[in-house]
Amino acid sequence: MVRVIGIDPGLRNLGWGVIDVAGSRFRHVANGICRSEGEALADRLLSLHSQLTAIFRQWLPEAAAVEQTFVNKDGAGTLKLGQARGIAMLVPAQAGLSVGEYAPNRIKKTVVGVGHADKKQVLHMVQMQLPGAQIAGPDAADALAIAICHAHYGGGDIPGRILKVRA
């Protein structure tokens, strides 16, 4: 069994979700949302780093995955999201883990079957694949979807993982 953490980066709300993977079986472990604190960007990033580090210490993941950043029309917003994504990649690296990176469409296609699924569809399918899980919100559902995606495509990080043809 391998413990996988999925991280959905965000400057205000950073979603996280932990699952245990054994072959084609998934078991929900925990999920939540780190909410940044402070006014200054540096303080908000430090807050996210501290919270995510505590999550790693508590749940001890063995594999990690993060959603890739998409570029939108708001350049400043994209840069801030990229900085939060840096924290989402730094904490697993500090724990000695390699970090899988997945495009939003690939995550949705893996979990829902459709690359342009909305948040409600992602939440529904995550609940179907992790029955009984109490999900903290849409960011946490997205993070669990990222963990599930990594269980499918995680390469050497996930022994006995589900094998799918790479798109």
Q: What is the pLDDT of residues 68-122, one digit of tens each?
A: 977 677 788 888 889 999 999 999 999 999 999 999 999 999 999 988 899 999 9
- Hunting for tokens 């724990």 — which residue is that? 95
Q: What are the φ and ψ backbone dihedral angles of 70, each rounded to 5 degrees?
A: -100, 150
The reported pLDDT for the residue numbered 157 is 58
The reported pLDDT for the residue numbered 80 is 85
The reported pLDDT for the residue numbered 74 is 78
Is 142 among the residues known to form the active site? no
Active-site choice (8, 74, 101, 142)? 8
Is 8 among the residues known to form the active site? yes
The reported pLDDT for the residue numbered 127 is 97
CB–CB of 20/148 below 8 Å? no
Is 20 among the residues known to form the active site? no
Helix, coil or strand: residue 24: coil
C-alpha torsion 108→49→70→140, nearest 10: 20
- Hunting for tokens 């900085």 — which residue is that? 83
Active-site choice (39, 43, 74, 139)? 139
Residue 29 pLDDT more than 50? yes
Active-site choice (37, 39, 62, 67)? 67
| Confidence label for 164 from pLDDT (cuts 50, 70 and 90) | very low
CA-based nearest residue to 111, from 152, 157, 65: 152
CB–CB of 37/75 below 8 Å? no
The reported pLDDT for the residue numbered 159 is 52
- In angstroms, the CA 90 to CA 56 distance is 12
